[in-house]
């Protein structure tokens, strides 16, 4: 028996490849199926089953494509309804993979079809659980994503999750290994640990949601407290995962990897009202970028911010991307359902400038320069971090304008006088700068290094409050 976790950092997502005696199972595959096909070929195993823990909201699964290419059977838990051929498992149903057994444990609450898969070794011993979004390390899945489809409130779903955890998961032995679908950075939970594998016994000790003396009322309160609205692309991805019918990833790549000259790039943007998406570094974007382009860099929480800010998965996209990272950019867009990438700017901004096209810049200064200018501009500082980050500690007098709700704050920015934007490290403030510039606001000043760098200066800050006490 061999278990491999295939972890994708940009989505904080774990897929799993399990093999035994020439057969294999894949759990929660990403859209690009080449890694799973490669492992099967390398180890001369046949992919027999493709298990889905639930209908994922934060990414488009590769289950349909993988089934078509391998003949493997797609398996969901009870209550799942799909528009494609899939086996809907009964609670407790078992599946043989080589000499190991995978048992479906229906664990509703995050969604009503949510299912944990229990792996039994060749001797029938309970070895591991693949928990999907039911149980994370340090947290549990948010209970507010299936309200509409389940006709239940988030409190009712949280109560269902409480029962699932205590009836199906907590009675398992402490030495059972926990393999979750997500880790820290995912929007599917609140307080996930940075680790991606743990024992159930340690989770019983460390995870607030598994306290043995916890009442259902306490669980509901703690799980639902502080939940931010889910990203708007979540329901779209759920629909895609339930219905299938989306393009094969190879088709998306063929379309998205078209190399366009500056003239072709400009014509394509005008013809279909394409969004120009610049995925380089914040520093490169600041120095020079295509006018009206939006910055969301690959070297950050790329996919979640794309889904949060672009919203419409049908939006045509043209890429400005560093050489050699074109396929990565198209693939990562496709992971969250954005399939209409039409090509990229050949030669990047250098070719654009050489073709006589105009560029724009972002005024970006160091934290030290910001400190020197701070005293006369204290009322024009805008913090684009999340609410919890701002409440925990912020610059005295700073306005809170979270990036995810930036459009709701446009009227608050000075029309003429320069104003300052900062986030935690400089990534989100550059996104905010690009969005504001695209809306005709150009008098912003980006603070490099964000609050982390500013904290090294003497600019007055509020007293720190631990997020857990807020």
Within a domain: residue 241? no
Q: Does 468 have pLDDT greater than 60?
A: no
Within a domain: residue 242? no
Q: Is 379 exposed, middle or buried (0-12, 13-18, 19+ CB in 10 A)?
A: exposed
| Shared domain check, 256 and 230 | no
Residue 232's pLDDT band (cuts 50, 70, 90)? confident
| CATH classification of the domain holding 202 | 3.60.15.10
| Shared domain check, 392 and 370 | yes
**What's the rounded mean pLDDT across residues 113-130?**
98
| Shared domain check, 373 and 350 | no
Point out the domain boundary residue: 306, 321, 354.
354
| Shared domain check, 183 and 309 | no
What are 66-77's pLDDT values in tens digits? 999 999 999 999
| 21-30, 157-166, 234-243, 272-281, range with the lowest pLDDT | 234-243
Within a domain: residue 240? no
Helix ranges, 89-215 (H)? 147-150, 154-164, 200-206
Angstrom distances, CA of residue 379 to CA of 163, 275, 395, 396, 429? 50, 33, 11, 9, 18
| Shared domain check, 136 and 57 | yes
Nearest to 230 by CA among 186, 187, 185: 187
| 3-12, 111-120, 180-189, 355-364, range with the lowest pLDDT | 180-189
Query: Which phi-psi region, left, alpha or beta, contains residue 469 (left: φ > 0; alpha: ψ -120 to 50)?
Result: alpha
Q: Helix, strand or coil for residue 140?
A: strand
| Shared domain check, 146 and 113 | yes
Within a domain: residue 448? yes
**What's the rounded mean pLDDT across residues 355-380?**
92
Average pLDDT over the chain reads: 94
Helix (H), strand (E) counts: the chain = 17, 22
| Shared domain check, 209 and 229 | yes
Within a domain: residue 225? yes
**What's the rounded mean pLDDT across residues 79-89?**
96
Three-state secondary structure readout of 336-381: CCCCCEEEEECCHHHHHHHCCCCCECCCEECHHHHHHHHCCCHHHE
Q: Does 469 have pLDDT greater than 60?
A: no
Instruction: Output the pLDDT for position 196.
Output: 94
According to DSSP, the β-strands at 419-422 and 341-345 are unpaired
Q: Helix, strand or coil for residue 330?
A: helix
256 is in which domain, residue-wise?
247-354
| Shared domain check, 222 and 195 | yes
What are 17-36's pLDDT values in tens digits? 999 999 999 999 999 999 99
| Shared domain check, 198 and 77 | yes
Q: Does 216 have pLDDT greater than 80?
A: yes
Instruction: Output the pLDDT for position 139.
Output: 95
| Shared domain check, 195 and 73 | yes
What are 298-312's pLDDT values in tens digits? 999 898 899 889 978
Give the whole-number percent of the chain exceeding pLDDT 70. 98
C-alpha span between 241 and 77 (Å, rounded): 14
- Residues composing the chain: 470
Instruction: Output the pLDDT for position 176.
Output: 98
How many structural domains compose the chain? 3
Instruction: Output the pLDDT for position 465.
Output: 84
Within a domain: residue 97? yes
Instruction: Pick 95 or 149 by higher pLDDT.
Output: 95
C-alpha span between 94 and 88 (Å, rounded): 12
C-alpha span between 377 and 381 (Å, rounded): 7
Question: Hey, what are 179's tokens?
Answer: 């393999």
| CATH classification of the domain holding 444 | 3.40.250.10
Residue 149's pLDDT band (cuts 50, 70, 90)? low
Nearest to 450 by CA among 362, 402, 378, 383: 383
Point out the domain boundary residue: 354, 378, 405.
354
| Shared domain check, 158 and 303 | no
Concatenating the DSSP letter of every residue in 269-326 gives HHHHT-EEEE-S-HHHHHH-B-TT-EE--SSSSHHHHHHHHT--TT--EEEE--TT-H
What are 252-280's pLDDT values in tens digits? 999 999 999 999 999 999 999 999 999 99
**What's the rounded mean pLDDT across residues 214-232?**
90
Instruction: Output the pLDDT for position 202.
Output: 97
Instruction: Output the pLDDT for position 22.
Output: 98
| 46-60, 82-96, 137-151, 363-377, range with the lowest pLDDT | 137-151
Helix ranges, 120-181 (H)? 147-150, 154-164
| Shared domain check, 285 and 164 | no
Point out the domain boundary residue: 171, 200, 235.
235
**What is the DSSP-derived secondary structure letter of residue 89?**
P
What are 318-367's pLDDT values in tens digits? 999 999 999 999 999 999 999 999 999 999 999 999 999 999 999 999 99
Within a domain: residue 452? yes
| 104-113, 190-199, 314-323, 441-450, range with the lowest pLDDT | 190-199
Within a domain: residue 177? yes
């Amino acid at each position: 028996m061999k278990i491999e976790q295939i972890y994708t950092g940009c989505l904080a997502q774990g897929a799993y490849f399990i093999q035994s005696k020439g057969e294999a199972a894949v759990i929660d595959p990403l859209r690009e199926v080449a890694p799973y096909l490669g492992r099967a070929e390398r180890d001369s195993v046949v992919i027999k089953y493709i298990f889905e823990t639930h209908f994922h909201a934060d990414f488009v699964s590769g289950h349909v494509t993988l089934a078509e290419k391998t003949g493997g059977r797609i398996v969901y838990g009870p209550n799942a309804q799909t528009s494609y051929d899939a086996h809907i498992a009964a609670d407790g149903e078992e599946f043989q993979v080589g000499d190991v057994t995978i048992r479906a444990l229906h664990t509703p609450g995050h969604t009503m079809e949510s299912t944990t898969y229990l792996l039994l070794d060749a001797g029938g011993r309970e070895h591991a659980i693949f928990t999907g979004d039911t149980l994370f390390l340090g947290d549990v899945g948010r209970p507010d994503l299936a309200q509409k489809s389940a006709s239940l409130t988030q409190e009712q779903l949280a109560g269902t999750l409480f029962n699932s955890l205590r009836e199906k998961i907590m009675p398992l032995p402490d030495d059972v290994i926990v393999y979750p679908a997500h880790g820290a950075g995912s929007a599917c939970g609140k307080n996930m640990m940075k680790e991606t594998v743990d024992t159930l016994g340690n989770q019983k000790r460390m995870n607030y949601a598994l306290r043995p003396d916890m009442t259902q009322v306490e669980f509901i309160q703690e799980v639902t407290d502080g939940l931010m609205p889910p990203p708007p692309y979540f329901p779209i991805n759920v629909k895609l995962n339930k219905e299938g019918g989306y393009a094969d990833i190879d088709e998306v790549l063929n379309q998205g990897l078209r190399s366009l000259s500056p003239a072709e790039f400009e014509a394509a943007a005008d013809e279909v009202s394409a969004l120009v998406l610049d995925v380089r570094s914040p520093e490169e974007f600041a120095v020079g970028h295509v006018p009206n382009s939006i910055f969301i860099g690959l070297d950050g929480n790329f996919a979640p911010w794309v889904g949060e800010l672009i919203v419409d998965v049908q939006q045509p996209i043209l890429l400005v991307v560093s050489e050699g990272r074109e396929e990565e950019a198209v693939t990562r867009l496709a992971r969250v359902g954005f399939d209409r990438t039409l090509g990229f700017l050949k030669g990047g901004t250098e070719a654009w400038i050489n073709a006589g096209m105009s560029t724009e810049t972002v005024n970006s200064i160091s934290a030290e320069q910001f400190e020197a200018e701070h005293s006369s501009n204290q009322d024009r500082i805008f913090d684009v971090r999340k609410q919890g980050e701002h409440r925990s500690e912020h610059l005295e007098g700073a306005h809170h304008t979270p990036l995810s709700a930036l459009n709701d704050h446009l009227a608050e920015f000075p029309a003429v006088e320069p104003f300052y934007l900062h986030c935690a490290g400089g990534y989100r403030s550059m996104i905010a700068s690009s969005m504001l510039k695209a809306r005709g606001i150009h008098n912003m000043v980006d603070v490099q290094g964000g609050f982390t760098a500013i904290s090294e200066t003497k600019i007055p800050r509020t007293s720190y409050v631990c997020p857990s006490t807020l």
